[in-house]
Structure 1
Amino acid sequence: MPDLPSDSNVSGSTPLPIFQRNPAADLRKMRRVITEDFSWSLAMVPPLSELCLQQIVSNFEKNPILDKLVPKHKTKVLDRISTLLPLKVTANLISDESYWKRCCAQRWAVCDISQYRGSWKRLYFERHLQNLIECFIPDLTDAQSILEVAELGKDYVAKLEIQQLLPPVKLEDKKEGEVDEISDSGSEVDLDLPSMDHFDLNLIANCLHGLEELHLVYGVKDCGVNFQWNLFNFTEQDCVSLAKALQIFKNLKVFRLNKSKVDDEKVRVLVRRLLNHPSLVHLDLSHNKISDRGARAVGKLMSQSQLRILNLCNNNVRSNGAQAIAHALSKNNSLTSLNLRLNHIVDEGGQALCQALLHNTSLMTLHLGSNELSEPTASVLSQVLSQNTTIKSISLSCNRIGLDGGKQLLEGITDNKTLVEFDLRLTEIGQESEIFINQVLQNNQEQARLEALEKRPPSRV
């Protein structure tokens, strides 16, 4: 009789339950995995590449890895790294515009990229450097940080618009009874004189080899109740330092120095360094204190440079200064725009400038508003309008030209085909003359529009 299986009895009755025969084996077979999160799946586990990217982002400042990444991973890293990373890490490493756009949006609410040739990186470096310079206080702020930013941004900074330059902090008067330190020779050891009156651009001039535009205001904006005249003072030391810096900026095309109390002596110092400048084409010295001597220096600059735009608005230029500028204008063949608004050139200066236009063939815009001009100037200008074929815009607003002057201007403009703008507001020329002059201007504007359409290249279908 063959042996029966061990798990059955001889009598053929029902076998014993399995947990009674082998408890350990039975427990293993009874185990079950019961999940509590029904949304869990294997897809929720991040891939190894994602974990690596997270480590690269979190350690980017100490170990910046970017160029070795494939494009899709590089994009992810640039989208995640902080905008507060030091410039010494990001300046030369990151050229991606989306990153610099995030940096700009983080700092400034309004960012007009059209003013920076469409470059977010240039916008960031220029405005960052401007902010540092505008907040610099001589002998109190460390200039090393400005020098570092200028060095890092030397390939991206092309324009600086400095809206304020702060003076040194005025030291409090010494306490009563305090004795000055005296050296053995009897002179004071510490004179408490500042090392500079305002930020010295020579500190960063050698770094900004690509600077093309510079706008400066030696004053404090939003000073409010703390107003003091010494907050608006372009000193001799400032002038000498700026003149040296201008000579270093070989690629400078536009220079503006406004609202800084620039007088004749200081403008002569600046002009001396700008003579024969290789690139300067736009000079703006408006809203200063330049008189005839300074105007003569500017006239010399016109004769020895390639200036195209000159703005001396709101100064103290009188007839002699205007005559010096007129003399230079008569021999100049590069200037296209001259602004002498809000000066005191009177008819002697106005007539000289108009006579210069009989010889000049480059000037296209002339602004002589608010200069105490009258009918004699209008008489010479009438002759100019009948002969000159390059001038396109003239402003005589806020001058007492009078009815006779208006008639002479109308006579001169009748055969003119190039003038398209003629500002005669508040000149008392009479309504009839004004109406006929406007008709001539409208005809010239329409003709200019048609000529522009003819020159426009044909559109591609």
Structure 2
Amino acid sequence: MDFTYCEFPCTVSLDTFKAYFNPNDVKLPKISGKSLLSSQPGLADAAGSNNNECQTNQVKSLRHLVLDAIVENWSEVPLYEQLPRHEDRNYILSQLDVELPLELLSAHISDDYFWERSFQQRWRSATMQLRGRERPWINIYMERHLQEFIENMQTGDYEPEGNVQTTLDICAAYINQLEINQLQPAPPGSDTNDHIPLDYLLANLPDLQRLRLSYCTKTAGCNYQLGCNQLSSRDIALLAKGLSQCHELRSFCIHNTKLAPYQLRLFAHCLDKGCHHLNALSLMHCAIGDAGIRSFMENCTKESFATLTMLDLTNNRITEEGAYILSRTLQHVPLQHLVLRLNPIQSDGAAAIFNTLQVMPIKVLDLGSCSITESITKLFMLLMCQHKTLLEIDLSNNCLGEDFGKHLLKVLGLNKILEHLDLRNTGMSMDMRHKFKTFLLKNVERKKHEALKKMQREKFMAMMQL
């Protein structure tokens, strides 16, 4: 059987192919990683040189000569959908040059295999991204292409109606997620430290659902100047303008970027008024402090962030004062995931947070490295006994001590909901932490058993209705 011309589907894995065909009876090309001879040296020796000579001297059919001509002239006559046979399309996809103009490729080809091959060939050192059933490779490719375009653009090269619009015409329809890890600084001698404006870019991404952004500069080089890693007044105004038009935004994260109180006020206003479906907000390593928390929360009402379920404020210099402000405001927010890690809120701030959790459907709480002491013992025991939704708690790297663990050991058996409790580096022994883990494993096993019984019961009721 001759598969020399790639008439099998290019997306078939090598293991699947070997399950249905005998490698000694077929001839495969050494392209696209489908060659059994190239992947198994022992098999190549067993096949001998006759097989290779046969493949080399084999005359191509007229059909394959025509397909080769289509591939060579594809930039002038992009034939793909016009080919009726799937075998011919597979051949075109396996031979087509991935470095052809992007606007030409995206206009005629949406095949997942081709865009996966294009991504891997262009970004060989990139870690393979996880993709779900609704994440086509063309989307992943376009998102990475736009990210690279924005991160490498110099402030003097920004042309909204020129290079920016050209790139958006190609990519915008495929952008659901966007991650920007750096922005180029302004050139030396500039009066301001403005970065490229993001208002026009964000306003022209109608399907953007996730945005992760940092204004830090990793490769400033000779362009480095004092303040190039900070947001200017113009930067924050244009970013807020762009965010207010991201009506489909579900998740927004800005990290490693120092934010002043007046900038947080603008963030609160634009996110509240423009992003009506926001369910995840992360302000990590932004040094916002208590003043920033106050400015942000002062612009929020009871109706603000009605869909917010995750708030991450990791490492923002928030003290007990900021924790009090958060506890008063978050009572009206349906949070399920709260992260205050690396903030010195101390025991008083943790107490305020614990009181607020009683009226919230919280499932994950992270208070690691928050300077909490054993004085919080009583309130935490009440939380363990009364709260009905908490699944995970992180109290690692706090000075809780052995007495805290002894009291917790007495009440933990009353909690049938909690599944994970991180108490590393809290002054407790390994044996005590192992006992906690045993209690929590019982909760996990019981929940699995109850879910199985519920599924069987629903299946039985459905059968009875038939």
* Same-fold status (TM-score > 0.5): yes
Alignment of 1:435-450 (within 5 A): 435-450=434-449
Q: 1:283 to 1:438 in 2, by over 3 A?
A: same
* Alignment deviations for residues 407-426 of structure 1 (CA, whole Å, 9 cap, x no partner): 33334323111111111222
Secondary structure in 2 matching 1:317: coil
Determine the C-alpha separation between the residues in 1 that align with 2:80 and 2:280.
42
Amino acid of the structure 2 residue aligned with 1:77:
I
* Alignment deviations for residues 4-35 of structure 1 (CA, whole Å, 9 cap, x no partner): xxxxxxxxxxxxxxxxxxxxxxxxxxxxxxxx
Q: 2:67 aligned with 1:53, yes or no?
A: yes
Determine the C-alpha separation between the residues in 2 that align with 1:380 and 1:302.
28
Partner of 2:252: 255
Alignment of 1:154-169 (within 5 A): 154-169=172-187
The alignment's TM-score, normalised by the length of structure 2, stands at 0.77
Amino acid of the structure 2 residue aligned with 1:347:
S
Determine the C-alpha separation between the residues in 2 that align with 1:87 and 1:432.
59
**CA shift at 1:351, angstroms?**
0.6
Determine the C-alpha separation between the residues in 2 that align with 1:99 and 1:68.
17
Partner of 2:311: 310
* Alignment deviations for residues 99-150 of structure 1 (CA, whole Å, 9 cap, x no partner): 2122112201145252464422111111111111110110145563343222
Secondary structure in 1 matching 2:349: helix
* Alignment deviations for residues 57-111 of structure 1 (CA, whole Å, 9 cap, x no partner): 2222223233322224333333332211112212122112222122112201145
Amino acid of the structure 1 residue aligned with 2:317:
N
Secondary structure in 2 matching 1:444: helix
Unaligned runs of 5+ in 1: 1-38, 172-191
Partner of 1:203: 200
Determine the C-alpha separation between the residues in 2 that align with 1:339 and 1:428.
22
Partner of 2:292: 294
Task: Give the one of 103, 121, 144 matched to 1:88.
Answer: 103
The alignment's TM-score, normalised by the length of structure 1, stands at 0.78
Determine the C-alpha separation between the residues in 1 that align with 2:411 and 2:400.
14
Q: 2:156 aligned with 1:149, yes or no?
A: no
Amino acid of the structure 1 residue aligned with 2:290:
D
Determine the C-alpha separation between the residues in 2 that align with 1:237 and 1:282.
25
Determine the C-alpha separation between the residues in 1 that align with 2:288 and 2:137.
38
Q: 2:274 aligned with 1:280, yes or no?
A: no
**CA shift at 1:298, angstroms?**
4.7
Q: 2:236 aligned with 1:239, yes or no?
A: yes
Task: Give the one of 76, 92, 101 matched to 1:77.
Answer: 92
**CA shift at 1:55, angstroms?**
3.4
Is residue 129–residue 149 contact of structure 1 (8 Å, CA) maintained in 2? yes
Determine the C-alpha separation between the residues in 2 that align with 1:142 and 1:299.
36
Is residue 147–residue 203 contact of structure 1 (8 Å, CA) maintained in 2? no
Determine the C-alpha separation between the residues in 1 that align with 2:332 and 2:200.
38
Q: Sequence identity of aligned pairs in percent?
A: 29
Partner of 2:76: 62
Partner of 1:112: 128
Secondary structure in 2 matching 1:63: coil
Partner of 2:325: 324
Secondary structure in 1 matching 2:335: coil
Determine the C-alpha separation between the residues in 2 that align with 1:302 and 1:416.
34
**CA shift at 1:449, angstroms?**
3.2
Determine the C-alpha separation between the residues in 1 that align with 2:196 and 2:224.
20
* Alignment deviations for residues 150-202 of structure 1 (CA, whole Å, 9 cap, x no partner): 2222221111111111111214xxxxxxxxxxxxxxxxxxxx546x8222222
Partner of 2:351: 351
**CA shift at 1:45, angstroms?**
7.2
Q: 2:139 aligned with 1:138, yes or no?
A: no
Secondary structure in 2 matching 1:285: strand
Is residue 290–residue 319 contact of structure 2 (8 Å, CA) maintained in 1? yes
Determine the C-alpha separation between the residues in 1 that align with 2:143 and 2:276.
23
Q: 2:423 aligned with 1:408, yes or no?
A: no
Amino acid of the structure 1 residue aligned with 2:234:
Q
Determine the C-alpha separation between the residues in 1 that align with 2:168 and 2:236.
22
| Structure ID, larger Rg | 1
Partner of 1:212: 209
Determine the C-alpha separation between the residues in 1 that align with 2:100 and 2:455.
48
**CA shift at 1:452, angstroms?**
4.1
Is residue 369–residue 396 contact of structure 1 (8 Å, CA) maintained in 2? yes
**CA shift at 1:330, angstroms?**
3.0
Q: 1:75 to 1:302 in 2, by over 3 A?
A: farther
Secondary structure in 1 matching 2:227: helix
Amino acid of the structure 2 residue aligned with 1:248:
Q
Determine the C-alpha separation between the residues in 2 that align with 1:325 and 1:385.
21
Q: Which region of structure 1 is more displaced relative to structure 2, 98-107 or 49-58?
A: 49-58
Secondary structure in 2 matching 1:92: helix
Determine the C-alpha separation between the residues in 2 that align with 1:226 and 1:424.
45
Partner of 2:144: 127
**CA shift at 1:393, angstroms?**
1.0
Secondary structure in 2 matching 1:275: helix
Partner of 1:35: none
Q: Which region of structure 1 is more displaced relative to structure 2, 293-302 or 156-165?
A: 293-302
- How many residues align? The count is 394
**CA shift at 1:438, angstroms?**
3.4
Secondary structure in 2 matching 1:218: coil
Q: 1:456 to 1:238 in 2, by over 3 A?
A: farther
Secondary structure in 2 matching 1:257: strand
Amino acid of the structure 2 residue aligned with 1:382:
M
**CA shift at 1:50, angstroms?**
4.2
CA-based RMSD of the aligned residues comes to 2.8
Higher share in helix? 2
Determine the C-alpha separation between the residues in 1 that align with 2:367 and 2:151.
34
